[in-house]
Copies of this chain bind each other. A is one copy, B any other.
Amino acid sequence: MRVLVVEDFVVLARSLDTGLRREGMAVDLALDGSEALERLASTRYDVVVLDRDLPGVHGDEVCRRIVAGDSGSRVLMLTAAGTVRQRVDGLGLGADDYLPKPFDFDELVARIRALARRPSAALPPVLECGDLRLDPARRVAVRGGNRLDLSPKEFAVLECLLGAAGRPVSAEDLLEGVWDEAADPFTTTVKTTIRRLRVKLGDPPLIHTVREAGYRIGVA
């Protein structure tokens, strides 16, 4: 199991290094954000243990890039002050788990193991079309390396379209699949959601209209 530890506080970094090695993991160290990104570009890691407060490139940014880069690595965030609020923030960035400092070393090990056991979400790139990738499990959508900020409904609609793999999906199908069964057949909400999605997806357009048949996702 390959683990990358990103931690600027040298004492803690070294102790994690030796501790995790003793647990049988292959550990690399990065002392700041840019070093972390370098290593990530050349090596595959199962888990990245990421301090949130980093000099230079901030931990949040590193996390964003890891998720966007689709390397398949799981991210475990370490943070100083551990309010629930921040925990949510961290997960919102695409981190897979979150551990407030100070933490118990055994707990860290347990969580790393748990993450590594997870069916590596990125191995089958889940759903993709052109440069758009979407991970339903993590609720993360990325286009061209940039994380998309989608609302729940938008995400669900996009998931439906991608699931159809190039076949057009009618407004009725979307209503049924995304909204609950009590769907007003005359609602215009699908139109609107599609429009908002198109704006967020940007250029070149990926969602195409098939008159009388619905919407189809595809590069051309």
Size range of the chain A interface in the assembly: 35 or more
Chain B nearest Cβ from A203, distance in angstroms? 12
Q: Does A191 contact B (CB under 8 A)?
A: no
Asked whether any CB of chain B lies closer than 8 Å to the CB of A22, the reply is no
Chain B residues, CB < 8 A from A41: 83-84
Q: Choose, from A12-20, A47-55, A165-173, the stretch at the interface.
A: A165-173
**Contact pattern, A 63-92, Cβ under 8 Å of B = 1, otherwise 0:** 000011111000000000001110011011
State the main secondary structure of chain A at its contact with B. loop
On A, residues with C-beta under 8 Å from B are: 41, 67-71, 83-85, 88-89, 91-94, 119, 121, 128, 130-131, 137-140, 144-145, 147, 151-152, 165-168, 210-213, 216, 219-220
**A94 in contact with B219 (CB, 8 Å):** yes
Determine which of B91, B93, B152 lies in contact with A212 in the assembled complex, contact meaning CB atoms within 8 Å.
Answer: B152
B67 touches A84 (CB 8 A): no
The answer to whether A91 touches B121, judged by C-beta atoms less than 8 angstroms apart, is no
Contact: B92 with A131, CB < 8 Å?
Answer: yes
Task: Give A149 Cβ to nearest chain B Cβ, in Å.
Answer: 10
**Best-surrounded residue of A67, A139, A140, A152 (most CB of chain B within 10 A):** A139
* Set of chain B residues within 8 Å of A71, measured between Cβ atoms: 84
Given contacts A71-B84, A92-B131, A152-B212, 17 further A-B contacts (CB under 8 A): A41-B83, A68-B220, A70-B84, A85-B145, A88-B131, A88-B144, A91-B130, A92-B130, A94-B130, A94-B220, A121-B165, A138-B167, A139-B168, A139-B210, A140-B166, A147-B220, A152-B213
Instruction: Jot down 28 A-B pairs with beta carbons below 8 A, ordered by A.
Output: A41-B83, A67-B220, A68-B220, A69-B84, A70-B84, A70-B88, A71-B84, A88-B131, A88-B144, A91-B130, A92-B130, A92-B131, A92-B144, A94-B219, A121-B165, A121-B166, A137-B167, A138-B167, A138-B168, A138-B216, A139-B210, A139-B216, A140-B166, A147-B220, A151-B211, A152-B211, A152-B212, A152-B213
Contact partners of A151 in chain B: CB under 8 A: 211
Identity of the chain B residue whose Cβ is nearest the Cβ of A125 in the assembled complex: B91
Instruction: Please name the 8 residue pairs, one residue from A and one from B, whose CB atoms are nearest each other, closest first.
Output: A92-B131, A152-B212, A121-B165, A94-B219, A69-B84, A139-B210, A138-B167, A68-B220
